Amino acid sequence: MSLATGTAAPLAWRKSTFSGANDDCVETAPMAKAVAVRDSKDLTVGNFAVPNASWARLTEALKA
């Protein structure tokens, strides 16, 4: 199931600047209480949401 279905406005998806021209990455879109995540190479598989606090912990852990 897609998170974008039934939302008032479409999600603003973005790829990491580190991905360059490579399409083998994930895209994220900010939402009010979560970050939506999807596979950039296969948009048909849908997406999922990660709560903002969990997303912040994940990205900080990846930087360490």
Amino acid identity, position 57: R
Q: Determine, yes or no, domain membership for 24.
A: yes
| Residue 7: φ, ψ to 5° | -80, 155
The number of residues in the chain equals: 64
> How many structural domains are present in the chain?
1
Q: What is the pLDDT of residue 52?
A: 96
Q: Determine, yes or no, domain membership for 2.
A: no
Secondary structure letter of residue 34 according to DSSP: E
Rg of the chain, C-alpha, whole Å: 12
Per the structure, the complete domain to which residue 40 belongs is given by 14-63
Helix (H, G, I), strand (E, B) or coil at 62: helix
Q: What is the pLDDT of residue 64?
A: 84
Q: What is the pLDDT of residue 37?
A: 93
Q: Determine, yes or no, domain membership for 3.
A: no
Q: What is the pLDDT of residue 19?
A: 72
Q: From the first residue on, what is the mean pLDDT of each consecutive set of 10 residues in the chain (64 residues)? A: 56 82 82 92 88 96 89
Q: What is the pLDDT of residue 9?
A: 73
Q: Determine, yes or no, domain membership for 7.
A: no
**Helices (DSSP H) in 1-64: which residue ranges?**
52-63
